[in-house]
Structure 1
Amino acid sequence: ITPHEDIYNIPNLLTFSRLLASPVIGYLVLQEQHAAALALFAAAGLTDLVDGYLARKWNLQTVVGSVIDPMADKTLMTILTVTLAVKGLLPVWLAGIILGRDIGLAISAIYFRWISLPPPKTMARYWDFSLPSAEVHPTTISKLNTALQLGLIGACMAHPFMVTMGPDWDLALQAMQYTVATTTIWSGLSYVYSKDAVKILKQPQESKDGEDPDDNNKKMI
């Protein structure tokens, strides 16, 4: 029997709050409520720092947290990438690179979740994230890319307040855009070639004679 994790803890709730805040921030961007959008974006970024810190300090790290945390980041990034591109605050070509990478990773995540889910494979069990089946380990370049993307998104959101700086601000923003384009492509390739990015968890199995193994062996590796 696959053991269930206790997923209802403060770090995971903070992560879920970031997930829920994402469409609100996107709506504020579309409504050109730049100050409110930037403030809520900063708060969402703070939860990203706090949830990981608390999970490590209180030993509340879970498999579902390893999946939901990057999912929340990518949901926030996807919504803001689209809304900022729609408002002309982010180049369309860069938005295409960011979204293309994330769509590829999302398809891969769906695939690995399905193949790693122990039988019986049902949709109810598939969406039950308290049933761990695979762990996602972000690569080093992916972590750097996430930080740079969030920095660029914040800069794009702050652009209406920074235009008075003139050409210097525009050059700095353009440099950030090309840097993020490079790290986005690089990080996507790192998941393809890294052997440790996705780890499928081994599940308890019955012994060859049909009897259950000893209790000491009834644990996930």
Structure 2
Amino acid sequence: MSSRRSELMTLPNLISAARLLLVPVFAVLLLQGHDLWGLVVLAVAAASDWVDGKIARALDQVSRLGELLDPAADRLFILVTLVVLVIRDVVPWWVVGAVVGRDLLLTVVLAVLMVRGVGPLPVHFLGKAGTFALLYAFPLLLLAQWPGTVGAAAGLVGWAFAWWGIGLYWSAAGVYVRQAAGALRGRAA
């Protein structure tokens, strides 16, 4: 039991868990109009996303729990951020639909894979790039609410990242669906 616990309680997993705990803090800050502090929390969360992966590889502490926690934290941050930005009238509902629709599609694909005895597919760089683009887009779209040149520039760059992120997100979904179909065909053979 102690050995199993030490496998789960690695530094990278604790960093990912802390990132999950930052999600409600971030949401409350934005809903209360504390945008600057919300951006600080988002920046810390984004940095921790990079740090946990580096530490996991450097210390040879890559774990299945970490492989699940890391994208879960990313998805939750994206979803909560989108909902808050919609509530604050920063982005339209179709952005939420595009992002959540992709995640629902992949949830169904994952369920089919699990039922058929095929494990989850590895994270593809397109999905990671789409996630990063969206995580860059959101703070910029929030900054776009500020008056003047900073707001105008942030809006332009933020929407560019949002479109790019949504495109990469759906491109990655296409890759995952093709990989899943191949894995299922291979399993059937």
1:164 to 142, 148, 155: 148
Q: Please state how far the C-alpha of 1:68 moved relative to its aligned partner.
A: 1.3
Greater relative contact order structure (CA < 8 Å, 6+ sep): 1
Query: Residue 26 in 1 paired to residue 30 in 2?
Result: no
Of 41-50 and 102-111, more deviation after overlay is shown by: 102-111
Q: Please state how far the C-alpha of 1:157 moved relative to its aligned partner.
A: 2.7
| Other structure's SS at 1:194 match | helix
The amino acid across from 2:20 in the alignment is L
Q: 1:101 to 1:195 in 2, by over 3 A?
A: closer
Q: Is 1:191–1:197's contact at 8 Å kept on the other side of the alignment?
A: no
Counterpart of 1:90 in structure 2 is 91
Q: 1:169 to 1:77 in 2, by over 3 A?
A: closer
Q: 1:83 to 1:188 in 2, by over 3 A?
A: same
Q: Distance in 2 between matches of 1:179 and 1:89?
A: 18
- The two structures have a TM-score, normalised by structure 1, of 0.71
Counterpart of 1:78 in structure 2 is 79
Q: Is 1:101–1:188's contact at 8 Å kept on the other side of the alignment?
A: yes
The amino acid across from 1:61 in the alignment is V
After superposition, give the CA deviation of every residue in 1:30-53 in whole Å (9 maximum; x if it has no partner).
111101110011111111011000
Structure number having the greater helix percentage: 2
Q: Which runs of 5+ in 1 are unaligned?
A: 117-132, 199-221
Q: Distance in 2 between matches of 1:114 and 1:189?
A: 20
RMSD value, Cα:
2.7
Query: Residue 149 in 1 paired to residue 134 in 2?
Result: yes
After superposition, give the CA deviation of every residue in 1:115-135 in whole Å (9 maximum; x if it has no partner).
54xxxxxxxxxxxxxxxx945
Q: Please state how far the C-alpha of 1:176 moved relative to its aligned partner.
A: 2.7
Identity across matched positions, percent: 23
Q: 1:32 to 1:197 in 2, by over 3 A?
A: farther
Q: Is 1:66–1:135's contact at 8 Å kept on the other side of the alignment?
A: no
Query: Residue 59 in 1 paired to residue 44 in 2?
Result: no
Q: Is 2:86–2:93's contact at 8 Å kept on the other side of the alignment?
A: yes
Q: 1:8 to 1:152 in 2, by over 3 A?
A: same
How many residue pairs get aligned? The number is 180
- The two structures have a TM-score, normalised by structure 2, of 0.82
Counterpart of 1:119 in structure 2 is none
Q: Please state how far the C-alpha of 1:16 moved relative to its aligned partner.
A: 0.6
Q: Is 2:121–2:180's contact at 8 Å kept on the other side of the alignment?
A: no
Q: Which has the larger radius of gyration?
A: 1
Q: Which runs of 5+ in 2 are unaligned?
A: 184-189
The amino acid across from 1:143 in the alignment is K
Of 50-59 and 91-100, more deviation after overlay is shown by: 91-100
The amino acid across from 1:149 in the alignment is L
Query: Residue 140 in 1 paired to residue 125 in 2?
Result: yes
Counterpart of 2:163 in structure 1 is 178
Q: Is 1:63–1:134's contact at 8 Å kept on the other side of the alignment?
A: no
The amino acid across from 1:54 in the alignment is I
